[in-house]
Amino acid sequence: MSATLRDFLRTGRLGEIVPGLGERAMVALLGEASLTSGVSADGTRIHKYGDVQLHTARGSVVLIMIKVPQGRPVELGDSCTVDDTPAYATMLPRALLDQLALDGLRPDRDHQHWMPTDRQDFVLASGVRLSFEEGVLSRISLGSSW
């Protein structure tokens, strides 16, 4: 499977992984996760594939969360690397937003969080959320686990 961060930001698809994908199909695409949590009180499980966490509930993916590494591509388990990660991950928020606008990915909404005060989120038209902590892109996510 191949995936690019640009495609995920534009479409909400991380290769063939999308919210709503069945858990069996997820395992067929990616193999067994390196770590899988038990079922939480709200019925979700977390499957860790490298830098990517896939949350499932009722047998389907409900949340894709990427913990953005600094200076290297995102790893999606042993089967896939998201090759264009460093181009986005090292930019400060304003520079990243400018680059996204050039790429046709202008944020749809700007969310300021009151806690913690050093966090800022931007949501793209695809529904993908970019989260900055202390001025650094730290997390990219799509979906909801509750």
Q: Which residue type is seen at 53?
A: Q
Report pLDDT for 18: 94
The boundaries of the domain holding residue 66 are: 5-143
Report helix, strand or coil for 78.
coil
Number of domains the chain contains: 1
pLDDT in the model for residue 48: 94
Q: How does pLDDT run along the chain (146 residues), one tens digit per residue?
A: 778 888 888 899 998 999 999 999 999 999 999 988 887 878 889 999 989 999 999 999 999 999 988 777 778 876 666 766 656 666 777 777 788 888 887 776 555 544 456 778 888 888 899 888 887 888 899 987 54
35: buried, middle or exposed (CB in 10 Å: 19+, 13-18, 0-12)? exposed
What's residue 109's pLDDT? 57
Residue among 100, 146, 99 nearest 126 (CA): 100
pLDDT of residue 114: 45
Q: Residue 9 corresponds to which tokens in the numbers above?
A: 């930001």
pTM confidence score: 0.83
**By the 8 A CB rule, do 138 and 126 touch?**
no
- The answer to whether residues 144 and 62 touch, using CB atoms and an 8 Å cutoff, is yes
pLDDT at position 102: 80
Which pLDDT belongs to residue 115? 46
